[in-house]
Structures are given as structure tokens and as C-alpha cells.
Amino acid sequence: MVVRPRKLELLARRSFTFGEGLSSGATRGHLRGKDMSTPSREIRVPRGQRQPLLDRVRPYLALCPKGCISHVTAAQLHGLPLPWFDDEIRTVHLTRPAHSAQPRRRNVIGHSNTLAPDDIMYLDGVAVTTPERTFLDLSALLSLDDLVAVADFLVCEHERPFGLAKAARVPAQTLRSYISSKRNLRGLSAARSALELMRVGVDSRPETRLRLLLQRAGLPEFTTNYAIEGDPEVWPDLACEEFKTSAEYEGEVHKTPQKQLFDRNRDERTAARGWLQVKVYKSDMRRGDAYVVEMFKRALRKQGWQG
């Protein structure tokens, strides 16, 4: 088999269409060989090759030129926090223009929708729904809490004395304006409800879940992006100013020696300023909502809450 040098890399490293393989100089026999898998009709993947999702989905659009990557697959490409493990999602979501036939092929979920030009962006030449449109499409698939976590992720921004400044993927007002401009779409009501519950400054999906849990329990309000005064300031995940009670969700990142030292200094400063801190771990969340709520009730009562 004679393969052009630039095409050899294509065949060896990423997914490609059967036509691309032929144009590279590969024979039909090679493209049907045991070293190639066929996830969907006319698509080949070199066996044993790990590749970026963008390269994995590229051939699907080559075979569906008027389509774009959407829904869960777009969420994966944008890095949105989904309630599933991204690497385990192998199905590709493709959207074609309204009134077009939906893509029908193995490992593809097809959609047909009317998308405005500003609903689509390009990632290295691959057409993908924008983060705003992807959020709207997910509103028909996710639970409300999971949808709020996506909204919190998109609008998160902060500039603190420690760490790097974080800019919003989509400013909160931009996301609100986008959703308010839509009419008669599946999931729109859920999207509007999620925007009412989203807050700026939430750094992770577990933080979103914790915030919503405390809010629904009827406890005093815990806010995001709050700085406890002092030199230096302390920035807890959540803060109840009225009763000087803060919340910290301790995820895997807190296990590193550097982060543990930072956390110890933070904890000491928090206590020195008269605040009571509640640390919540994954194991606490597994014990159930009532258990976590009771942790905060005890802390709030120590700080003067009469609820």
C-alpha cells in the first residue's frame, strides 16, 4: 500500500472517513482490515488509538456537511459538567436543519432543529452549537439541579487575591438575554427555572448541589462570591453573613500538600474572625441530604440562629 506521508498520520492517529482513507492511498482491503474498527458506516478508527473527542467526531460531519455537533456531545467539547463520566459517552449527537432528515447511523443520535447563525461556532473547523445553545438543548435532558450546575459553570467569574482570575464562559446577563429571546422550544421552561437558581462564583458541580440543598432546606441564605473581611480576605465557597457561618466543599483537589497548607491557613483565619466553618466531604453527601442539612443546622444554632 502506498500512502502519502501527510495522510499516513491521519490513518495512524485519528478517525477518518472511508473516502479519506482511499484518497490517502490505502486499499479497500486495508480499510477493512482487523487493525481498523468501524464505529459507524463509512467511518474508520485505528484500533488502540486514543484521540481527542474533536477528532473522533470530525468524520461524522464530513458525512453530514449541513449538520453540527450538539447536545451532550457539544457539552463534552465545551467541558460542561455533566452528571456522567465524559469518557464513557460514546454516542455522537448531530443536529441537522429543521425539516431535514435526521442523521440515521450507528452510534449517532440525530436531531433536526432550526438553529440561528449565532447558535453555531467552529472548533478547529468542526461546527458545534455554542455554549448558550448547548445549555438550552441540555435543558430537555438534564434534571433541574444538573442544569443549574451547567449554568453556574458557564457564568462563573471571579478575581481573588489568590489563584488566577476567572472569566465567565458566558456572562450571566448574556445567558439570560439569550434564553429570554427564545419561544416555544422544548426544555425552555426548565432553562428559565435554572437561570433563576444560578449564581455567579460557583467553582464546581458539588458546590452547586450543596448550595441548592441548603436553600431548599429553608436555612438562612448562603451566598457565593463572598469575602470575609481581614488581611488577607477569606473567600469561602458559601457564606451566611447574618450568622457568620461558612461552607467549604472539600473535593479531591484538597488532598494535595500545597492545598492542605492553604486550607489550614484559611481555616485559622476564618475562626479568628468569629466565623464557624462547616466542611463537607463527598462521604457526607453520600449519607444523604438530611445528614448534611443537620450539619449546618448545628453550626447555625451555635452562631445564634433560632430556627
For residue 2, the model assigns a pLDDT of 45
Same domain membership, residue 243 and residue 225: yes
Let me know if residue 53 belongs to a domain. no
For residue 50, the model assigns a pLDDT of 82
Same domain membership, residue 188 and residue 72: yes
Let me know if residue 118 belongs to a domain. yes
Q: Residue 258's pLDDT band (boundaries 50, 70, 90)?
A: low
- The average confidence (pLDDT) of the chain is 89
For residue 40, the model assigns a pLDDT of 86
Let me know if residue 16 belongs to a domain. yes
For residue 257, the model assigns a pLDDT of 59
Same domain membership, residue 143 and residue 12: no
Does the pLDDT value for residue 126 go beyond 50? yes
Same domain membership, residue 68 and residue 186: yes
Let me know if residue 307 belongs to a domain. no
Q: What is the pLDDT of residues 157-205, one digit of tens each?
A: 988 877 788 999 999 999 999 999 999 999 999 999 999 999 999 999 9
Q: List the domain range (segments joined by +) for residue 13.
A: 5-48
Same domain membership, residue 143 and residue 14: no
Let me know if residue 68 belongs to a domain. yes
For residue 31, the model assigns a pLDDT of 76
Q: What percent of the chain has pLDDT over 90?
A: 64
Domain count, the chain: 3
Nearest by Cα to 191 from 120, 118, 156, 142: 142
Give ∠ CA 74-80-82 in degrees, rounded to 5. Answer: 95
**pTM for this model (two decimals):** 0.88
Question: How far is the C-alpha of 66 from the C-alpha of 226, rounded, in Å?
Answer: 46
Same domain membership, residue 294 and residue 171: no
Same domain membership, residue 157 and residue 35: no
Let me know if residue 296 belongs to a domain. yes
